[in-house]
Amino acid sequence: MKRLLYFPIVHNQTDLGSLGQSLSAEGGKKYGAAEWQEHIVEVDRAWNKIENEISGQLKQTTAEKLKIYQDGLPVVDATGIQIVKDTAQKGSINYAIIDRLLMQGAKLELAENIHLLMKEYQLLSDVAKAETQADIVKAYLMYTDAAAELLSERDAFIANQINTTLKEGETGIAFFGAAHSITDKLNKDITVDIIRMFTDSISIKLTE
């Protein structure tokens, strides 16, 4: 059997890198500073629960039979593993979980297309760097015009990567933002368990 534990995730600020501060500021404006701060706490709390959930799900699985698929990570091998370690050290619970799984013998698989990610990052960066209201609106409209198509292309690439690399007798662990639509594109011989951990009110709104 091929099995995939699929976690629709909400990124914490560390995972968002240089965009985290500006996107968090926008969240505070939209939902209120106090509510947004509570959301940040709840996101970290959910991440801390995920590791226990994985341990419970994998009692009968050896680490050597595990493959990891990560949102926003377009490299693997030594470079990818170093990025995982560096990001974990900066405070990412997501990457800390992956780092521990890799040290136990799990394998990091390539999930993302770097060219598609760079296109999306540049569009988001343009929004974050815009200074005037007119520039913000212009950059945001450019992002929204391209976002749906880019996400669809990313989803198709990710699903194909899982379909081709997850082998019989293996279990995959996938961490992808809840806006993604990947599981419907997976081969029928993959048993998918969707595990939802982010249930605070803002997380639910962000993933609707």
pTM of the model: 0.84
User: What's the pLDDT at 112?
Assistant: 95
Which whole number is the average pLDDT over 11-28? Answer: 64
Distances in Å between the Cα of 181 and the Cα atoms of 40, 50, 76, 159, 208 are 24, 21, 23, 9, 12
Which whole number is the average pLDDT over 143-172? Answer: 89
Ramachandran sector of residue 9 (left: φ over 0; alpha: ψ -120 to 50; beta: rest): beta
User: What's the pLDDT at 126?
Assistant: 53
Amino acid at 82: Q
User: What's the pLDDT at 129?
Assistant: 62
- Would you kindly state where each structural domain of the chain is located, as residue ranges? 2-59+113-207
pLDDT at 32 over 70: yes
Dump pLDDT digits (tens) for 58-106. Answer: 887 888 999 999 999 999 999 999 999 999 998 899 999 999 999 999 9
